């Protein structure tokens, strides 16, 4: 997909190949289906895997440990977590983890950072795509990559009316 912003032209071909238009369309579809909850999933070298966000179940069974609902958070199911950890070195590796931010804008939150890092380093060597979705419009999606000890915005893709 043609990015509307890219951090450095040298990244363009790699990023636009990883995030194809067809693939982004599937991710946007899933974000709409999940709204007003967050969706989550994986962008593979070929295709996507839409994952199950179990945040609501965790929140309902233990609201003290899990104060957030799926409206403002995501947790992969154990099957999806297992797939992710086993898939990284496979022939069709995960390139990015995606999730949506309903009505709050696509920024890499402190919670996102906490979930992506262990001891200050990324748990998985993948980018993160965050979809900025509102009730009747996907505003855009933003791709973040761990560079120089922090997650930085490297690309923005156009959204669409719903």
CB of 115 to Zn ion, least distance (A): 8
72 binds Zn ion (CB under 5 A): no
80 binds Zn ion (CB under 5 A): no
Strands 127-134 and 40-44: unpaired
Closest residue to Zn ion using C-beta atoms:
112
Whichever of 7 and 109 has its CB closer to Zn ion, that residue is 109
- Cα–Cα distances (Å) from 139 to 3, 104, 148, 153, in that order, read 13, 11, 28, 16
Map the footprint of Zn ion across residues 107-126, applying CB under 5 A.
109, 112
**CA–CA gap between residue 154 and residue 127 (Å, rounded):** 9
> What is the residue-wise DSSP string for 58-74?
HHHH-TTT----GGG--
37 binds Zn ion (CB under 5 A): no
Stretch that binds Zn ion, among 18-26, 40-48, 104-112, 143-151 (CB under 5 A): 104-112
Q: Other C-beta atoms within 10 Å of 15: how many?
A: 21
Chain residues binding Zn ion by CB under 5 A are: 109, 112
């Amino acid at each position: 997909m043609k990015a509307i912003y890219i951090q450095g032209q040298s990244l363009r071909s790699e990023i636009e190949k990883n995030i194809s238009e067809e693939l982004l369309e599937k991710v946007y579809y899933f974000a709409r289906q999940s709204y007003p909850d967050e969706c989550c999933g994986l962008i593979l070298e070929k295709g996507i895997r839409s994952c199950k966000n179990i945040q609501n179940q965790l929140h309902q069974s233990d609201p003290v440990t899990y104060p957030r609902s799926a409206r403002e958070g995501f947790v992969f199911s154990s099957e999806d977590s297992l797939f992710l950890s086993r898939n990284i070195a496979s022939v069709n590796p995960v390139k990015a983890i995606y999730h949506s931010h309903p009505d709050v804008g696509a920024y890499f939150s402190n919670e996102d950072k906490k979930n992506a890092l262990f001891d200050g380093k990324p748990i998985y060597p993948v980018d993160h795509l965050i979809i900025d979705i509102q009730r009747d419009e996907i505003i855009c999606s933003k791709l973040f990559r761990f560079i120089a000890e922090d997650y930085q915005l490297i690309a923005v893709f156009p959204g669409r009316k719903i």
